[in-house]
């Protein structure tokens, strides 16, 4: 990421702006900027929008200004970095609402002809993901087969053309020592480079 022409979007996907995820997202953004990238940092906690896709795909809801801005940022970036917590085996509802409201037919993907596999409208961009969890990462794999990680990678990001190049879970958060938390920051910084 040393090239100054690289455009990086960091999405802090925690609904609380004072969270560890927010600090990790900030560290990733600072590192990318220090390495010469043009960086935009968006905080889910500051976004104001209805996360409920009330009509499914039957009727389009107008995008609120914060969703319009995030969509423009996704289209602008070369690299999309997402940092979020794992809650009940998935993303927080507000973050899931971002995907539901923005990653729509005609915006993020498009079916052409009678094909079953869509054209990926965000293609040409990479994605890097950092997830915090209270479940030990080894148990997410052994006990749950990385359920959310597979959904996020294959059924959301890759489906719209955001090619995942890095995906890392750090934890456990609840009982992490200061030294362990510093290791989480090292992972966030590495994600940006």
Helix or strand or coil: residue 125? strand
CA distance 52 to 61: 10
Nearest in space to 105 (alpha carbons), one of 38, 154, 56: 56
* Tokens 């022409």, located at residue: 5
User: Is 126:78 a contact under the CB 8 Å cutoff?
Assistant: yes
Residue 75's contacts (CB-CB under 8 Å, 6 or more residues apart) are: 122
Q: Please give the pLDDT value at position 5.
A: 65
The residues spanned by each domain of the chain are 7-49+69-111+123-191
User: What pLDDT does residue 11 have?
Assistant: 98
Q: Which residues make Cβ contacts (< 8 Å) with residue 47, sequence separation at least 6? A: 66, 67, 70, 94, 98
Pick the CATH number of 7-49+69-111+123-191 from 3.40.50.360, 3.40.225.10, 2.60.40.1080, 3.30.450.40: 3.40.50.360
Residue 3: the pLDDT is 44
pLDDT of residue 115: 76
Q: What is the pLDDT of residue 51?
A: 98
**Where would I find the H helices in 35-174?**
65-76, 93-102, 137-144, 147-150, 158-160
> Per-10-residue mean pLDDT for the chain, 193 residues long?
73 98 98 97 98 95 98 98 97 98 97 87 98 93 92 98 98 96 98 89
């Amino acid at each position: 990421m040393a090239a100054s022409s690289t455009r990086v979007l960091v999405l802090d996907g925690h609904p609380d702006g004072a969270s560890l995820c927010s600090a990790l997202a900030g560290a990733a953004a600072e590192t990318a900027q220090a390495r010469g990238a043009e960086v935009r940092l968006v905080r889910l906690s500051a976004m104001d929008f209805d996360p409920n896709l009330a009509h499914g795909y039957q009727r389009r809801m107008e995008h609120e200004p914060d969703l319009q801005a995030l969509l423009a940022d996704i289209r602008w970036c070369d690299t999309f970095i997402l940092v979020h917590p794992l809650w009940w085996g998935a993303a927080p509802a507000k973050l899931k609402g971002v995907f539901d409201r923005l990653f729509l037919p005609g915006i993020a993907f498009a079916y052409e002809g009678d094909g079953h596999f869509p054209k990926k409208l965000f293609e040409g961009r990479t994605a890097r993901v950092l997830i915090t969890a209270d479940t030990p990462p080894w148990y997410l794999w052994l006990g749950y087969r990385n359920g959310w990680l597979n959904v996020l990678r294959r059924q959301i990001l890759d489906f719209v053309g955001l090619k995942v190049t890095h995906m890392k879970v750090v934890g456990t958060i609840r009982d992490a020592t200061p030294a362990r938390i510093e290791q989480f920051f090292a992972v966030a910084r590495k994600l940006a480079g």
